[in-house]
Structure 1
Amino acid sequence: MKAGKSTPSSPQFPRDSPCILPLPFITQIPPQPSSNPTPAPAMLAPKACLAAAEVAFFSPALIASAFILYKHGLSRQLGWFYLVLLSILRLIGSSCTLYMATQNDYSSSLIQTATITSAIGTAPLLLALMGFLARINEGLEHKGIGPNVFRPIHLIALAALIVSIVGATNVFDSSPAAQETGKGLLEAAGILFLVIYLSLCGITIWSVIHLRWILGSEKNLVKACTLALPFLCVRIVYTVCVSFGSGTTGVFSFGNVDVWIAAFMQFFPEAVVVSIFVFAGFVTPKWERREIQEGSSSKDDRDAENEVELGEGQRPAQEHGRV
């Protein structure tokens, strides 16, 4: 080593002292990977997110609808019953979708259950509307639409419900002939639902025209039915488009509808209509007018019979007085 030149020397540490490195050395040490890394939470697919939203909405809707059904009774007010039925169907379908997404179990039975419960959601909405209109017109006495009009609509709606269930089941069949039959049945059910909706629109307009003859306690139902019609129209258009949708890649393909189309044309209208009907159920009193009228009629009949008997008993005395 030449004199006058200094060479850098490495830092010297006592043999027994701990090795403490300067700050630049510490910052350059790469982080050691953990032996048990925590996996990042998996994000739900869009369809699973929509199913979660349906569960979040229809769970309280089921409780509210069941309470209203208990309040109004099951014997005559079937409109509230169909709200309960719709909530149950939606919870079943969305639960199956969530299970498939979280457990990665896409079995054919789960897919069929989720699709069929989605396909038959139109019928409970129309039947609920029909039940409310039947109650409104029953209070109109001789100016309202009689039960002979609502019975055929009720039967057609039930027939459309059965046809849609059979059609949706056949679509998932392995036989091409059964699939074609199922497609035709779904199209027929879509047409029936459209006819029922147009009929109920006409009855709603009739009820609005005769609003002054409707009982004050029933006018909230008239408003609810009128407000629900535009949203039901969107739901019916969705049903018809899915029924006549072709192929497996279209936005209205049965069993594989675009998630945004389903969100804004199926779930959103259903949520609005159910909210309107549930609110109307809370503010509408229980139907008791028919029972009171029957009691009043019986009392009037008894009074008339007493007057007749009294008149017959007094007539001989009067005739005797004249003699």
Structure 2
Amino acid sequence: MTLTIYNKISILQLAFFAPSLVVAGTLSYRHGFRRSAGWIYLVILSLMRIIGASMELATISSPDNASLAIGAQTLQNIGLSPLILVLLGLVTRTYLAMSETSRPALPNARILRLLQLVVIIGLILSIVGGINMGNQVSDELVNGTPVSYTVATESKAGIALMIVGYVLLLLSAVALTSGLSAIPNGEKRLLLAVFVALPFVFVRLLYSILSAFDTSNPNFRQFGGSTNAGYYVLGMCTIMEIIAVIIFEAVGLTLPYVPHNERGSLLNPTRAVHNLDSNGQPLGQYPQSNGQYYPKLQQNESA
């Protein structure tokens, strides 16, 4: 049995995203499952890749099952939005860690929430567009006839919103550098991770743009593409996602654990300044010799 490039990509995804899911779940537990924290989207991306890869490999034994191929392709297409949402979560945490007097006028908390909504709407549109496109090609896949399709309007709109989200995210990260000295030392690494990951996420975004708006290029056709199309998926999607996830999870693992009842002080500078936990009660701190400002565990708590 000869494996296709897509089969090999799926094996790579399973090998990476299965352990990545464990790390992502750990980070979500340690740092919070809130959407604004961003870590939950690493869990979602890992699940997307595991399920999509499993569906792709299932086509080996069921080559006539168009639903498997379409499902795998749809999950492949929507992997961009969780990456942007993780970046947004890191930017949001950095913004909230700054003292209120040091925060730039833009972005603000309302803008960051709106940006999150834009990307989520883009994700929903991409899913709808993928389903619509799947309906176009299902019969052709079953019959083995040449596949022809047009990219759904919803997919194009979803990618357009991703572009808007990426650009605004980049501008927000740049704006936060104006108050770099006001960011706690322990949180500065988050902003660094954002800037390191942004180029890799851009390549992933570029692939989505080309596959949605340049359908005449067989290298970026999602169905019925050239023999090289899979290698573009590997280089511009899979590898870029893996590198970005490594960056996110590496920085997440270096962040000190903050107990659940004290996270309000980390995300609320007013409480942090007054040395209060999320309930307004006094709390202990790590020694500030290393320049970090994080609550420590209370006597009756464990990590």
Residues 73-120 of structure 1: per-residue CA shift (max 9 Å, x gap): 21465311000100000111111111112x143312101210110111
Correspondence 1:240 to 2:209: yes
Instruction: Answer with 218-227 or 70-79: which moved more.
Output: 70-79
Conserved in 1, the CA contact under 8 Å of 2:48 and 2:79? yes
Alignment of 1:147-158 (within 5 A): 147-158=109-120
- How far is the alpha carbon of 1:293 from its aligned partner? 4.7
Counterpart CA distance in 1 for 2:37 and 2:98 is 19
Identify the residue that residue 92 of structure 2 maps to in structure 1: 134
Alignment of 1:300-311 (within 5 A): none
- How far is the alpha carbon of 1:43 from its aligned partner? 2.9
TM (norm. structure 1) is 0.73
Counterpart CA distance in 1 for 2:111 and 2:193 is 21
Match of 1:273 among 235, 241, 244: 244
Identify the residue that residue 90 of structure 1 maps to in structure 2: 49
- How far is the alpha carbon of 1:216 from its aligned partner? 0.9
Counterpart CA distance in 2 for 1:76 and 1:265 is 26
Identity %: 27
Aligned partner of 1:94: which letter?
A
Identify the residue that residue 252 of structure 1 maps to in structure 2: 220
Correspondence 1:190 to 2:159: yes
Q: Structure 1 pair 298/48, CA: closer, same or farther in 2 (3 Å)?
A: closer
Conserved in 2, the CA contact under 8 Å of 1:245 and 1:254? no
Identify the residue that residue 293 of structure 2 maps to in structure 1: none
Match of 2:122 among 120, 136, 160: 160
Correspondence 1:285 to 2:248: no
Q: Structure 1 pair 291/96, CA: closer, same or farther in 2 (3 Å)?
A: same
- How far is the alpha carbon of 1:217 from its aligned partner? 1.0
Conserved in 2, the CA contact under 8 Å of 1:160 and 1:189? yes
Q: Structure 1 pair 209/293, CA: closer, same or farther in 2 (3 Å)?
A: closer
Counterpart CA distance in 2 for 1:227 and 1:49 is 27
Counterpart CA distance in 2 for 1:77 and 1:62 is 19
- How far is the alpha carbon of 1:210 from its aligned partner? 2.0
Correspondence 1:74 to 2:43: no
- How far is the alpha carbon of 1:208 from its aligned partner? 2.5
Aligned partner of 2:7: which letter?
A
Equivalences, count = 254
Counterpart CA distance in 2 for 1:159 and 1:293 is 32
Counterpart CA distance in 1 for 2:20 and 2:161 is 27
- How far is the alpha carbon of 1:44 from its aligned partner? 1.3
Correspondence 1:57 to 2:16: yes
- How far is the alpha carbon of 1:254 from its aligned partner? 2.4
Counterpart CA distance in 2 for 1:298 and 1:285 is 18
Q: Relative contact order: is structure 1 or structure 2 higher (C-alpha 8 Å, sep ≥ 6)?
A: 2
Identify the residue that residue 99 of structure 1 maps to in structure 2: 58
Aligned partner of 2:21: which letter?
L
Aligned partner of 1:227: which letter?
V
Indicate the SS of the match to 1:106: coil
Counterpart CA distance in 2 for 1:291 and 1:185 is 38
Unaligned runs of 5+ in 2: 138-148, 282-303
TM (norm. structure 2) is 0.78
Conserved in 1, the CA contact under 8 Å of 2:97 and 2:269? no
Instruction: Answer with 188-197 or 205-214: which moved more.
Output: 205-214
Counterpart CA distance in 2 for 1:138 and 1:292 is 7
Counterpart CA distance in 2 for 1:208 and 1:108 is 48
Counterpart CA distance in 1 for 2:6 and 2:248 is 26
Conserved in 1, the CA contact under 8 Å of 2:37 and 2:93? no
Identify the residue that residue 33 of structure 1 maps to in structure 2: none
Indicate the SS of the match to 1:173: helix
- How far is the alpha carbon of 1:256 from its aligned partner? 4.6
Counterpart CA distance in 2 for 1:174 and 1:133 is 39
Cα RMSD over matched residues? Answer: 2.4
